Amino acid sequence: MNKTEIKNIVNITKFNLKVNFKSILGWSIAIFLITFLYMILFPSMKDLATMKMEAMPKEMLQFFGLDSLNNMNNYIHYFGMMFNMIIITISVYAVSLSSKLICGEEKTKSIEFLNSLNVNRNEIYISKLITAFISLIIVLLSAVIAGLICGLAVGGETFILMDFISIVKLGGISVFIFMSISFLLSGISSKMNVSMISSIIIFGTYLIGYLGVLLEKRWLVYFSPIETLNVNGALNMTSSTYASIFVYLGIIILSILFGNYYYKRRDFNI
Amino acid sequence: MIKVKNLTKNYGKLKAVDNTSFNVNKNEIIGFVGKNGAGKTTTIRTILNMLFPTKGEIKVDNLDSITESKKIKEILSYVSSDNDYYYNIKVIDLFKFCIKFSKTKLNKAKELSKYFELDINKKISELSSGNRKKVSIIQALLKENKIIIFDEPTNGLDPLMQKKFFDLILEEKKKGITIFLSSHNLNEVEKYCDRVIFIRSGKIVDIIDIKKDNKINNYIISYKTKSNKIEKYEYSDDLNKLLKKLSLLDIKDLEIRKKTIEEEFIYYYRSDKDE
């Protein structure tokens, strides 16, 4: 990649961020507020949550990845439960943003303008990828900052920064897995409803993971990054957790590469 | 400047462009005329590498349209028939973005905006379709072009702006630029183009040199006799002979005029039996 190509990628990325600024800002504020409101209530919720968890069926706890977390007096455990839900929400945003960046340009025909500039498809694809990556980092950070502020304010002794970072680091990977799958599908064809298919994949894999836990079939759980990389995974890292992270990173890289490969070789759907 | 050789583009079973070949010469204004769905936009989008040809090849300034598309874009600009942009940004920001990919200064965008009476501080969503067309035209003129492809450039422009547009295009031609003009407006094609390509059902049916071709230089003779009989026919021979012939008739009303591109267009499209 030469200097001009890098310059072009930077220019298109900046422009895309500007075009999508309102959506990124809106999602960041919404995610910040949701996380903040739930986490700030931790002191008053912890007893209630423990009581409710005791009353909840085991299957329900498994569904939320809380079966091994019987202590909801612990801020980290409480955050882990919340963060799982937030990751699902951000994943839905990730697939919708990715498909908007690639397929949306073709639907609105603005790709005719972008493509007529002195750029190639590789530069367009990479800049869209970086735009999605930066946007998702911002949205994830808004949840992390809210969790951090509340942890420092109300977490007390149960707020352990290293555990908090582990949960965030591991959980965040799921968002980028679904983003890359959405880029792969958008790269292959923009005729399909990528956003919807990717959302089905998010909830489908989550359900498979849940079934895996319920039926005690561990191999099924690995189909669900959200289930594998949840708070339990983050706080009890085993060799299989490391192996699954390795596989998930492979999925991210391959999806992006294949998405780019097809994007450069297909007709724009205009 | 543009060489299209045996171009075929299929959408599934539909042949949008069917084994089409034509050349666009350097520094000419060439019209590209056909009904809706005739294959004009598909041909243009294939030249611009937005679509891949099913068969055939396209060269622009001897550069391959697929493998060297980026080099082509250094010398080629395009004005789409649709004026679709990012609605939530200002016109000035769009122009600032465009000049990052060329050596042009923002002043040129400002001058062109002034020429076309366009408010660059407005958001694109606030512009009418005519003003959005102006944005499209201006962004295309911001590059150091050798070729500009216009797809329905005057759609939405008022007559004054249409004239301003063509004055500017003629200036660009003087600088040596080649213009490829796809249009439904046959009057403007006849007035400004050097040659016209007729496309029907994805096939080139004719290429006419407006200034030289006999088909366009033929006369249309129509007259009414005193017995109210109306005759109309095409005539291509010596005018003196025609006048002698007409003098023998008992004529009440007479019209002799050159054939128009519109009549040529209707000739090709009056029957859809081949479609």
- Mind listing the pLDDT tens digit of every residue in chain B (275 residues)? 899 999 999 998 899 999 999 999 999 999 999 888 889 999 999 999 999 999 999 999 999 999 999 999 999 999 998 877 788 899 999 999 999 998 888 999 999 999 999 999 999 999 998 999 999 999 999 988 899 999 989 888 899 999 999 999 999 999 999 999 998 888 888 889 999 999 988 999 889 888 776 666 678 888 888 888 888 888 877 888 888 888 888 888 888 887 777 777 777 776 554 44
Q: Which of B45, B51, B85 sits opposite A113 (nearest CB)?
A: B85
Q: Which residue has the higher pLDDT, A87 or B241?
A: A87
Cα B221 → chain centroid: 29
- pLDDT confidence of residue B112: 94
Q: Which residue has the higher pLDDT, A192 or A53?
A: A192
Q: Is A267 in Cβ contact with B101 (below 8 Å)?
A: no
A268 inside 8 A of chain B by CB: yes
Mean pLDDT of A232-239: 81
- pLDDT confidence of residue A270: 83
Residues A51-71 have pLDDT tens digits of 766 777 777 766 665 665 556
Give the 3-state DSSP-derived string for chain B, with helices as H, strands as E and coil as C: CEEEEEEEEEECCEEEEEEEEEEECCCCEEEEECCCCCCHHHHHHHHCCCCCCCEEEEEECCEECCCCHHHHHHHEEEECCCCCCCCCCEHHHHHHHHHCCCCCCHHHHHHHHHHCCCCCCCEHHHCCHHHHHHHHHHHHHCCCCCEEEEECCCCCCCHHHHHHHHHHHHHHHHCCCEEEEECCCHHHHHHHCCEEEEEECCEEEEEEECCCCHHHHCEEEEEEECCCCEEEEEECCCHHHHHHHHHCCCEEEEEEEECCHHHHHHHHHCCCCCC
Q: Which of B78, B82, B140 sits opposite A109 (nearest CB)?
A: B82
Residue A221: pLDDT band (50, 70, 90) is confident
Residues of A in contact with B89 (CB under 8 A): 18-19
- pLDDT confidence of residue A147: 95
B74 inside 8 A of chain A by CB: yes
Q: Which residue has the higher pLDDT, A216 or B15?
A: B15
- pLDDT confidence of residue A64: 64
ipTM of the predicted structure? 0.83
Q: Which of A118, A266, A268 sits opposite B101 (nearest CB)?
A: A118
Measured between alpha carbons, how far is A89 from A143 in angstroms, rounded to an integer? 11
- Rg of chain A on CA atoms, in Å: 20
CB A90 within 8 A of CB A136: yes
Which residue of A lies nearest to B136 if distances are taken between CA atoms?
Answer: A113
Measured between alpha carbons, how far is B76 from A119 in angstroms, rounded to an integer? 12
Q: Is A115 in Cβ contact with B49 (below 8 Å)?
A: yes
Q: Is B70 in Cβ contact with A120 (below 8 Å)?
A: yes
CA distance A206 to chain B (A): 35
- pLDDT confidence of residue B247: 84
Best probe of the A interface among B66, B70, B123, B144, by most A CBs < 10 A, is: B70
